[in-house]
Amino acid sequence: MSTDRLLIREWELGDAEEALQVYGADEVAHWLTPEWRPVNDTDAMRSVLHAWIESGPNLMPPAGRWAITRREDGQLVGGLSVKLLPPFEEDFELTWALRPDVWGQGYATEASRAITGWAFKQGIEEIFAVARPDNERAIAVARRLGMEWVGETEKYYDMTLQVFRLRPG
């Protein structure tokens, strides 16, 4: 899937080094879900990618995990996922992570528009994003995407989260 500036594609094991610059960055890891274990080196990142790649075919679309690369220079700038929110696994959640040095250029918004457009074509009628109340950048992405604020809840991940929802159209 491509957008003006980005390519959204499946992960590859060869992405480990560049993916580490995304998921190994403290500024990113700090905001990931509580079960995320810190990834400190390329081998650890490769193991994570291996698990993501292996589990991919078992996920029910629109669930999935994708790498975001920049078309201009092929650099990997981040990752996106659509996954079922625990514990009930009824609602789909959109998550983003960008390499800190590319924050502030609209890549998360641009990639999310493409993936949510595709997700709605798979038959779902809503997609959620959850963010800790102090995750200002994530909340700003949700708002920029036109997501509606639904409320604050503790039902996901045992933490207080702001919930946003997007519907087609």
- Applying CB under 6 A, does 69 fall inside the site for ligand COA? no
- Applying CB under 6 A, does 157 fall inside the site for ligand COA? no
Tokens of 28: 């990113």
Choosing from 42, 48, 106, 165, the residue that interacts with ligand COA (CB under 6 A) is: 106
Tokens of 65: 């995990």
Choosing from 39, 45, 98, 147, the residue that interacts with ligand COA (CB under 6 A) is: 98
Provide the sign of the torsion angle of the four alpha carbons 32, 151, 93, 81, taken in this order: negative
For the CB of residue 34, give the shortest distance to ligand COA in the complex, in Å: 12
**Is 64:93 a contact under the CB 8 Å cutoff?**
no
- Applying CB under 6 A, does 165 fall inside the site for ligand COA? no
- Applying CB under 6 A, does 86 fall inside the site for ligand COA? no
How far is residue 4's CA from residue 72's CA, in Å, rounded to a whole number?
A: 10
Q: Is 58 left (phi over 0), alpha (psi -120 to 50) or beta?
A: alpha
How far is residue 105's CA from residue 103's CA, in Å, rounded to a whole number?
A: 6
Residue nearest ligand COA, Cβ-based = 106
Taking CB under 6 A as the binding criterion, the range among 10-18, 57-65, 67-75, 137-145 that sits at the site for ligand COA is 137-145
Residues that bind ligand COA (CB under 6 A): 28, 31, 95-98, 103-109, 131, 135, 137-138, 140-141, 144
